[in-house]
């Protein structure tokens, strides 16, 4: 019911954007003065804009960017509002033919939001040009264009993915705006050189713009390399411990859904996910004979296992862009009553991220088979979490986990967990029978 309502709201929003765009486009067609702005100029800028838009850089959460902002600024500088609208419209229509996965609603929305953004920015330029000269007016109108463009797209993404605007901003656009604004002078320079040199002048800027696009892509590639490294580390961890395969991914998913239930912002949830995936990173350095030991650990071996949170945190502390997120790993074995390790923290002294990982980790440990016992059912594990709430575990986090389990996690995981428990029990019985023989 809730999701269908969201879908209706999104459809209404797209419809309103497209209606507004049609009105503005009709105005542009009927008010373009081809004596002041030739059709050749309008189409040439549209063609160059199309070439630039053909090479997007993809962002998380289904968004993408290009360096077309420089062309938008040049269009704002060079044309009056009707001609600017027409040029962007033609460029976006051409771009729609080169999109591989054609979704007509997405294409129409994209064209519509660009028309609205360029229209309001162009009209703003007319207002500010009466106060200052053309260059300052164009810079202000470029800022308005960027803000409107990001705002209109972010609303659609937030509705489609059930996120807050702030989350979309922090995940996708926080780093984009400074880079966009840095391209504004290039756009003004393009328009000025076009006035002096004609078509050759604007074509000269295609290579510099492609280099700017390459720098955007390098940033996103670096981010993807970071994610790939995290996944490789998780794979290495689980290859060491035969009895906890899939543990890190499950703990990460349980932690993420719990944090959403606690209304955490999405960019913080993303960091939590990485820390949950890597909460056992030090297991790489623990000898296999300890990790896979089928009998009780000696005091020395147990102390080595206990050190994994401390050593893992020291490893992650070296990653500069994580800030103090490594503390989630260091303290995920601390307990609310101070009985945990490594530092015996209690209550609010324990970072919330560590408390979330602790609950997710405990649940997965209880519901997973071990060589010395079968796993508990999800219902039994939840009852145990609730018993520990307030003393060992944060009761607020436990409650949030239970809500997340009932709403989203149980449909995906409950049947699989129960099946694995039954399979593990059967294997245990076979092993016991073989031992008796």
Full DSSP string of 218-229: HHHHHHHHHHHH
For residue 420, give both structure tokens.
């694995």
The answer on pLDDT for 249 being more than 80 is yes
Over residues 351-366, mean pLDDT? 96
Diameter over CA atoms, the chain: 99
Over residues 21-41, mean pLDDT? 90
Domains and CATH numbers, the chain: 2-223 (1.10.1760.20), 241-427 (1.10.3210.10)
Tell me the average pLDDT of the chain.
Answer: 87
Over residues 78-104, mean pLDDT? 90
For residue 31, give both structure tokens.
């008010």
Say whether 200 sits in a helix, a strand or coil. Answer: helix
CA–CA separation, 283 and 236 (whole Å): 9
Query: Which range is most confident: 17-31, 234-248, 314-328?
Result: 17-31
CA–CA separation, 231 and 155 (whole Å): 31
Are the beta carbons of 354 and 331 closer than 8 angstroms?
A: yes
- Identify the pLDDT of residue 372: 64
Q: What is the 3-state secondary structure (H, E, C) of 118-182?
A: HHHHHHHHHHHHCCCCHHHHHHHHHHHHHHHHHHHHHHHHHHHHCCCHHHHHHHHHCCHHHHHHH
Q: Among the listed ranges 142-156, 162-176, 289-303, which one has the minimum average pLDDT value? A: 289-303
């Amino acid at each position: 019911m809730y999701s269908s309502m969201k879908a209706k709201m999104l459809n209404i929003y797209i419809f309103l954007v497209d209606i507004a765009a049609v009105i503005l486009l009709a105005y542009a067609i009927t008010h373009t003065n081809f004596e002041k702005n030739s059709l050749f100029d309008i189409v040439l800028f549209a063609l160059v804009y199309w070439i630039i838009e053909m090479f997007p850089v993809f962002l998380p959460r289904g968004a993408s960017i290009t360096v077309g902002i420089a062309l938008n600024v040049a269009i704002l500088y060079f044309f009056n509002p009707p001609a600017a609208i027409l040029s962007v419209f033609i460029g976006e229509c051409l771009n729609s033919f080169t999109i591989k996965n054609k979704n007509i609603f997405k294409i129409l929305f994209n064209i519509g939001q660009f028309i609205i953004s360029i229209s309001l920015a162009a009209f703003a330029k007319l207002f500010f040009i009466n106060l200052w000269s053309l260059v300052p007016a164009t810079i202000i109108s470029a800022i308005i264009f960027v803000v409107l463009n990001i705002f209109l797209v972010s609303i659609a993404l937030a509705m489609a993915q059930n996120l807050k605007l702030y989350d979309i901003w922090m995940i996708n656009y926080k780093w984009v705006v400074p880079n966009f604004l840095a391209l504004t002078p290039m756009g003004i320079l393009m328009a000025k050189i076009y006035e002096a040199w004609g078509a050759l002048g604007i074509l000269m800027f295609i290579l510099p713009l492609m280099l700017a696009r390459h720098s955007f892509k390098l940033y996103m590639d670096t981010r993807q390399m970071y994610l790939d490294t995290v996944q490789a580390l998780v794979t290495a961890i689980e290859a060491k411990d035969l009895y906890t395969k899939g543990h890190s991914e499950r703990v990460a998913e349980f932690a993420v859904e719990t944090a959403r239930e606690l209304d955490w912002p999405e960019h913080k949830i993303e960091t939590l996910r990485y820390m949950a995936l890597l909460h056992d990173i030090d297991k790489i350095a623990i000898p296999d004979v300890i990790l896979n030991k089928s009998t009780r650990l000696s005091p020395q071996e147990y102390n080595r296992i206990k050190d994994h949170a401390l050593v893992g945190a020291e490893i992650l502390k070296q990653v500069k862009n994580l800030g103090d997120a490594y503390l989630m790993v260091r303290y995920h074995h601390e307990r609310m009553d101070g009985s945990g390790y490594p530092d015996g923290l209690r209550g609010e002294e324990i970072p919330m991220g560590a408390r979330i990982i602790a609950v997710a980790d405990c649940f997965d440990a209880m519901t997973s088979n071990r060589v010395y016992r079968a796993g508990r059912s999800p219902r039994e594990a939840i009852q145990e979490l609730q018993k520990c709430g307030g003393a060992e575990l944060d009761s607020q986090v436990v409650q949030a986990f239970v809500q997340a389990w009932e709403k989203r996690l149980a449909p995906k995981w409950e049947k699989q967990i129960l099946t694995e428990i039954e399979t593990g029990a059967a294997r245990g019985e076979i092993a016991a029978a073989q031992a008796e023989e």
